[in-house]
């Protein structure tokens, strides 16, 4: 792919570039060009010889893409520090710890093993903004990217820094402190991914008798029947062993979901509820809690009782972080398990989240087995309405329709309408405390949108 800006437009998704490895947008050629474009972006902004850390998860294609990405970066005159297999938040940690100018993660997160992806971090370990990614896309199709050819001593150097995964794990363990005893027993599901070595090292160093599953990666089994994408597996192990809690991660360990001793799900909303109360009690909550548009209204209801504001943002942990920065909140996250406790971390960190949730429960005297019942999320219904590609509703029309039905919810519910980014569909989410009202509003919306999009 050379010199074709139309080809790379919208290359970056909500979490970097992602596709089936060795196909489409995730070939070695694409990785090489992405690396060159990122370096050119940094160089033209006053960083003459950038230093960039690269980490990856356990996928077989990771080494192939790592070699190509590193070649692209060094060919543009930057230094590369290979971290090896390490969670995405471990790359963020390493960028800050090592004083890098940027970082890159090779991972497709929760996707199956045949997928892979590349996402970039800035010098502070934050994910890049939409604007920055758009600029890098422009470089992908610019002739200067092909013409930028350092030679001799100006060519970049490749170094290895694989000890950073261990250092990251030691830092995580140090966050528990001496104030509370560690939870004596539980199960950690590493999804056969990047947490497979780090998580056992962290939990074992803290004591207790934790059991580990999904921690034997072979390059092809990442997320397969384990991790956050298959919570029923962790649930069955927890119940079979009669343990009080289980924690599951995804492939790059930037997410965590939990189960109680009865095998019931503890999602990101429940974690934000507990963590928010704990941080508020310690004076570390800032302006409140950031949650995405997908978080249940029960979260606002529960935190409202504690006078803790909730700020809403689009889906994606980088948007959570951006909203935390603008609002002054110190805690944010997604229902799916991306949780950020700032300033400890700058991106979702599954291991950090799980540890702090357990710590918060201990500090607040919470019985984990009662949380799912007490949180009691509002019922939700998600409907998809097929439309032609030319008939998607614009933002003003969506706002008008939403306002028309809002009074029917009586202030105890909400509506979220959005066009699918990949299919000719309008997606409708209705949430209400009363299930009958929820279903009625959902039916009304389906009929209205079908009529408007005929």
**CB-CB contact of 334 with 349 (8 Å):** no
Three-class SS state of 236: helix
Structural element, H or E, at residue 131: helix 130-140
**CB-CB contact of 344 with 331 (8 Å):** no
**CB-CB contact of 289 with 329 (8 Å):** yes
The whole-angstrom separation of Cα 85 and Cα 10 is: 28
The whole-angstrom separation of Cα 347 and Cα 349 is: 6
Rg (CA), the chain: 23
The whole-angstrom separation of Cα 89 and Cα 295 is: 23
Q: Is residue 402 among the annotated active site residues?
A: no
Q: What is the DSSP-derived secondary structure letter of residue 219?
A: S
**Is beta strand 185-189 parallel, antiparallel or unpaired with respect to 245-249?**
parallel
Sign of CA dihedral 324, 329, 330, 336: negative
Three-class SS state of 69: helix
The whole-angstrom separation of Cα 18 and Cα 26 is: 6
**Is beta strand 331-333 parallel, antiparallel or unpaired with respect to 289-292?**
parallel
Q: What is the DSSP-derived secondary structure letter of residue 181?
A: P
- The token duo for 107 is 């991972």
The angle formed by the CA atoms of residues 117, 122 and 126, to the nearest 5 degrees, is: 80
**CB-CB contact of 253 with 350 (8 Å):** yes
Three-class SS state of 259: strand
Residue 196: name the closest of 268, 327, 288, 90 by CA: 90
Residue 27's CB is within 10 A of a number of other CB atoms, namely: 18
**CB-CB contact of 62 with 106 (8 Å):** yes
CA distances from 434 to 86, 88, 302, 408 (A): 45, 40, 17, 11
Where does residue 383 rank: exposed (0-12), middle (13-18), buried (19+ CB within 10 A)? middle
**Active-site residue (options: 37, 61, 94, 109):** 109
Active site residues: 109
């Amino acid at each position: 792919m050379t010199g074709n800006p139309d080809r790379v437009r919208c290359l970056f998704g909500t979490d970097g570039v992602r596709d089936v490895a060795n196909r489409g947008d995730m070939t070695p050629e694409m990785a090489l060009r992405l690396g060159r474009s990122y370096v050119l972006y940094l160089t033209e902004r006053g960083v003459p010889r950038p230093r960039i850390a690269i980490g990856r998860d356990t996928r077989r294609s990771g080494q192939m893409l790592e070699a190509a990405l590193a070649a692209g970066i060094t060919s543009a005159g930057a230094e590369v520090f290979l971290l090896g297999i390490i969670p995405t938040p471990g790359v963020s940690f390493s960028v800050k710890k090592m004083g890098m100018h940027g970082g890159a993660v090779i991972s497709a997160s929760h996707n199956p093993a045949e997928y892979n992806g590349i996402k970039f971090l800035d010098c502070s370990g934050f994910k890049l903004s939409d604007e920055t990614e758009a600029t890098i896309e422009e470089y992908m199709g610019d002739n200067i990217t092909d013409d930028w050819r350092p030679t001799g001593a100006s060519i970049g150097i490749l170094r290895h820094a694989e000890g950073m995964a261990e250092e990251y794990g030691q830092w995580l363990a140090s966050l528990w402190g001496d104030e509370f005893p560690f939870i004596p027993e539980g199960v950690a599901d590493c999804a056969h991914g990047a947490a497979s070595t780090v998580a056992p090292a962290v939990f074992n160093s803290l004591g207790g008798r934790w059991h580990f599953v999904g921690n034997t990666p072979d390059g092809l089994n990442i997320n397969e029947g384990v991790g956050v994408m298959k919570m029923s597996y962790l649930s069955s192990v927890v119940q079979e062993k009669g343990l009080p809690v289980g924690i599951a991660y995804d492939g790059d360990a930037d997410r965590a979901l939990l189960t109680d001793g009865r095998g019931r799900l503890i999602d990101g909303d429940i974690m934000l509820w507990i963590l928010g109360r704990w941080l508020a009690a310690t004076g570390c909550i800032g302006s409140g809690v950031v949650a995405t548009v997908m978080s249940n209204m029960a979260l606002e209801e529960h935190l409202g009782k504690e006078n803790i504001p909730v700020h809403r943002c689009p889906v994606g942990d980088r948007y959570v972080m951006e909203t935390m920065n603008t609002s002054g909140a110190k805690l944010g996250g997604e229902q799916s398990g991306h949780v950020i406790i700032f300033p400890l971390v700058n991106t979702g960190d599954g291991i950090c989240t799980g540890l702090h949730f357990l710590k918060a429960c201990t500090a607040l005297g919470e019985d984990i087995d009662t949380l799912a019942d007490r949180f009691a999320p509002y019922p939700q219904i998600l409907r998809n309405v097929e439309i032609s590609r030319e008939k998607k509703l614009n933002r003003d029309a969506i706002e008008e329709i939403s306002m028309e039905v809002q009074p029917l919810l009586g202030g105890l519910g909400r509506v979220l309408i959005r066009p699918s980014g990949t299919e000719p569909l309008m997606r409708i989410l209705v949430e209400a405390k009363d299930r009958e009202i929820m279903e009625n509003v959902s039916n009304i919306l389906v009929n209205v949108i079908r009529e408007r999009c005929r």
